[in-house]
Amino acid sequence: MKAMTLMKITTKFASVLLGSVVFGATGAGLGRATAQEMDAETKARVERFEKGPATIDVSKYPAQLQDYYQTFSQKCAQCHKLSRPINCDYVLPEEWSRYIKRMMYKPGSNISAAEGKKIYEFVVYDSSVRKKKALDDKLQTLKPDERKKAEDAIKKIVDNYQ
């Protein structure tokens, strides 16, 4: 009887262990959005973003933002190509806030609130420098109160690092 109980426990343990290994091996990419999960329009946009550069020259950025770029690079590349956020058309603080919060809640992203704030400050600053024309164009499409809110958020971050 003891041998039979021991055999059942050993079999269950082996099954659980095997299941964990299989899940771990197949679940490693769970945080990545697959092509099947995206509609055709979104897939085309993402493919366009991912074809661009996968790095940013931050050598002329303030030292603290250069550090934040490292956080951005490390955390964002866990779930998708870094070229996606680098080349996307997000430039407004509200767009970045929504996007980063959505990424923070993805399984496996492991982006803490403090890291999310660093990423946010980096991408808002970067958008104001590297994507300035796109930012200015998008600001012009906003209602006056929305534009002021966006400009104030950008100014607060840019002024903080000058």
| pLDDT for the residue numbered 70 | 98
| pLDDT for the residue numbered 38 | 87
* Residue 58 maps to a domain: no
- Residues 55-97 have pLDDT tens digits of 999 999 999 999 999 999 999 999 999 999 999 999 999 999 9
| pLDDT for the residue numbered 18 | 37
* Residue 16 maps to a domain: no
* Residue 78 maps to a domain: yes
Residues 115 and 62: beta-carbon distance below 8 Å: no
Structural domain count, the chain = 1
- Residues 103-139 have pLDDT tens digits of 999 999 999 999 999 999 999 999 999 999 999 999 9
CA angle 148, 156, 91 (to 5 degrees): 65
pLDDT at 19 over 80: no
* Residue 7 maps to a domain: no
* Residue 160 maps to a domain: yes
Rounded-to-integer distance, Cα 95 and Cα 64, Å = 22
pTM, full prediction: 0.77
* Residue 107 maps to a domain: yes
| pLDDT for the residue numbered 132 | 98
What is residue 56's three-state secondary structure?
coil
pLDDT category at 37 given cuts 50, 70, 90 is confident
* Residue 123 maps to a domain: yes
Instruction: Indicate the average pLDDT of the chain.
Output: 85
Q: Which of 7-11, 33-37, 54-58, 102-106 comes out lowest in average pLDDT? A: 7-11
| pLDDT for the residue numbered 107 | 92
What does the pLDDT average to over 2-12?
A: 46
* Residue 91 maps to a domain: yes
Domain span at 104: 66-162
**Higher-scoring residue by pLDDT: 123, 23:** 123
DSSP H stretches of helix in the chain:
2-27, 40-50, 63-76, 83-87, 93-104, 113-129, 132-140, 144-160
